[in-house]
Structure 1
Amino acid sequence: MTVSWTAHRFSGGVLALDTANTVVLRGDAERSFDRFADPLEIARFAVAATTFRVDELEGRALAAPAPHAIADKVLAIREATDRLFRRGVATGALAASDMAELLKACADGLAGSGETFGPDAPFGRSERPIAFEAALAVSALSLMAADSLGRMRICPNCRWLFIDRSRNGSRLWCDMAVCGNRQKAKRHYNRRKEEVLDA
């Protein structure tokens, strides 16, 4: 199945969370599905992420020319990111065992990249594209900064992870136009149904 990689698919706020959110309806065994089940979608996602994550990547393009060859690394980083931060949001702390898993997956993603990174250029300064798995590792590692966990949320509608960048830290939905409106419509429907039953 070809995925339409629209702006909504990048509601996580950073590349690593957008990637974690490529598993839809996590925790719902009957309805959950993986948008990366076809590794070719990794390459298509990387192209879209180059546009939708241009600020985070500081203009660097993402490269995934051989998605089948990097799929295991990408999926390992994705799953370790989701596990660490989903549990972190629930408990308010990051588990050492989950951190170790993420660090190992990120090390594999960075191995052999030849990139150099610095505090003022987290994705490097090269003009050439950065390997998707290396950029994904850098994005995931950046989430371990102290302020990230405090601003991370789980959308109550779709269960996606996202960074709340609202001024007062009160954002509920990963995307108000999609999940927020769905929840509002659902509440409205339930109220109308109760009114009909009470009549």
Structure 2
Amino acid sequence: MTFSWTPHRFSGGALALDVANSVVLRDDPARRIDRFADPAAMDAFCAGASAYGAERDRFGALAPVHDDARSGLVALREAIDAHFRAEIEGTARPDLLADLLEAIAATLRRSGTRAQALDTATARSALMLLAQPQADRLKICPNCRWLFIDRSRNRSRAWCDMAVCGNRVKANRHYRRRRGDPGP
């Protein structure tokens, strides 16, 4: 099956969140899909993030990760997801923050002068998220469970992408209503 990085895949609002969202159905081990398991998909992510990502102006054209740094990017991705998901759910733990900071430090040490590499830019994006004064803008999409930043004026954004997740939820609700099924 071929896969392409479409604008919907970059609806997190920050490179670090888009990288964390590269795992689809994270909460379902039987159906979980790791888009970075394929090195070609990880490399193609750079072009997608450079074209569609919210921080494309900040980081510019991203370079692929060296082969020996791929596992480090995956470790950084998992630390980003664990820390920010716990923050959003109100279950933040100091050890998750420490894991994230250690993964960021390891990535930055390993990157050397490759400032535009995907792993380095992701580490910098995660640091900016940590320094963000309005952590209450970070949310989890109730449909796909992806992480995203709510940049709406009144903080009312419900889905990572209204055109995809919002429409799915609304269509499902409409379908259930027409059948007389109250649903969850």
- Taking structure 1 as the reference length, the TM-score comes to 0.84
Letter in 1 for 2:136: G
Pair 1:181 & 2:179 matched: no
Asked whether the 8 Å contact 1:83–1:98 carries over to 2, the reply is: yes
Deviates more, 1:3-12 or 1:22-31: 22-31
Gapped regions of structure 1 (runs ≥ 5): 116-127
Pair 1:172 & 2:170 matched: no
C-alpha distance in 2 between matches for 1:43 and 1:55: 17
Letter in 2 for 1:184: K
Question: What is aligned with 1:16?
Answer: 16
Gapped regions of structure 2 (runs ≥ 5): none
Question: What is aligned with 1:64?
Answer: 64
Deviation at 1:61, TM superposition (A): 1.5
C-alpha distance in 2 between matches for 1:113 and 1:69: 11
Pair 1:38 & 2:44 matched: no
Asked whether the 8 Å contact 1:15–1:49 carries over to 2, the reply is: yes
Between Structure 1 and Structure 2, how many residues are aligned? 181
Question: What is aligned with 1:82?
Answer: 81
Deviations 1:76-122 (A, max 9, x none): 1100000001011001x63210011011111111114345xxxxxxx
Considering fraction of residues, name the structure with more helix: 2
Asked whether the 8 Å contact 1:148–1:163 carries over to 2, the reply is: no
Question: What is aligned with 1:134?
Answer: 120
Q: Which has the larger radius of gyration?
A: 1
- Partner of 2:157, secondary structure, is coil
Given the alignment, which residue of 96, 99, 109 partners 2:97? 99
- Give the fraction of aligned pairs with identical amino acids, expressed as a percent: 51
Deviates more, 1:51-60 or 1:3-12: 51-60
C-alpha distance in 2 between matches for 1:132 and 1:59: 9
Asked whether the 8 Å contact 1:2–1:41 carries over to 2, the reply is: no
Given the alignment, which residue of 107, 110, 119 partners 2:108? 110
- Partner of 1:3, secondary structure, is coil
C-alpha distance in 2 between matches for 1:154 and 1:74: 22
- Partner of 1:153, secondary structure, is strand
Question: What is aligned with 1:125?
Answer: none
Deviations 1:114-136 (A, max 9, x none): 45xxxxxxxxxxxx871111111
Deviation at 1:59, TM superposition (A): 5.4
Letter in 1 for 2:152: S
Pair 1:157 & 2:155 matched: no
Give runs of ≥4 in structure 1 deviating > 3 Å. Answer: 54-57, 112-115
Question: What is aligned with 1:122?
Answer: none
